[in-house]
Amino acid sequence: GACFWLTRGEEVWLRRRPEKGLLGGMMEVPGTPWDKRDLSPGEGIKRADRHRNVIEPSQSAAAGDKPGTDDMLAHAPLEAEWKLVPGLVEHTFTHFHLELEVYTATTRKKLVPGEGAWVPLDEIAGEALPTVMRKVAAHAMPDAGPLFAKR
């Protein structure tokens, strides 16, 4: 899967997970579905194949740049110059292991109310972020210090 770390100045875009289901009601970094039954065709490919097709960290991720990026970027909160952060975020839940690629972008746009919220980066520690999302934050902002430390 993938997560999309979108910043606007000193804020990051977060959304609330559905009340029912895994991590219900908690805030999250927007991303692709985690249930393989919900994934688009390109997202279900083998990890090795997927990694051959993703963009390099120095390239922007415009839809259609390389095979495999379209499906991931279809879940991004908006069109932007998404950059792939090297490496993966890994997290194990009780019944499955999750591997996430993290894409980052900046914007000046305001998104539609109700879809999510801009959260000041200096307040993110107080948000109800699950451990997997704290790992995503730490991966997206490795130089941010202990605020984003992996737990």
Print the domain residue range for 19: 2-148
Domain count, the chain: 1
CATH number for the domain including 90? Answer: 3.90.79.10
Residue type for position 125: A
**Span 86-100, pLDDT tens digits:** 999 998 888 888 899
Containing 6, the helix (H) or strand (E) segment is strand 2-8
Please identify every stretch of the chain with a pLDDT value under 70, giving residue numbers as ranges.
24, 35-70, 112-114, 145-151
C-alpha separations of 32 from 4, 56, 72, 108, 122 in Å: 9, 19, 7, 23, 26
Q: Is 146 left (phi over 0), alpha (psi -120 to 50) or beta?
A: alpha
pLDDT of residue 13: 93
pLDDT of residue 114: 60
**Span 9-25, pLDDT tens digits:** 999 999 888 777 777 67
Q: Cβ neighbours of residue 102 under 8 Å, at least 6 residues apart?
A: 2, 3, 4, 5, 84, 85, 89, 136, 139, 140
Q: What are phi and psi of 37, to 5 degrees?
A: -65, -20
**CA-closest candidate to residue 134, choices 36, 10, 27, 62:** 27
User: Given the structure tokens 């390389």, which residue do they identify?
Assistant: 66
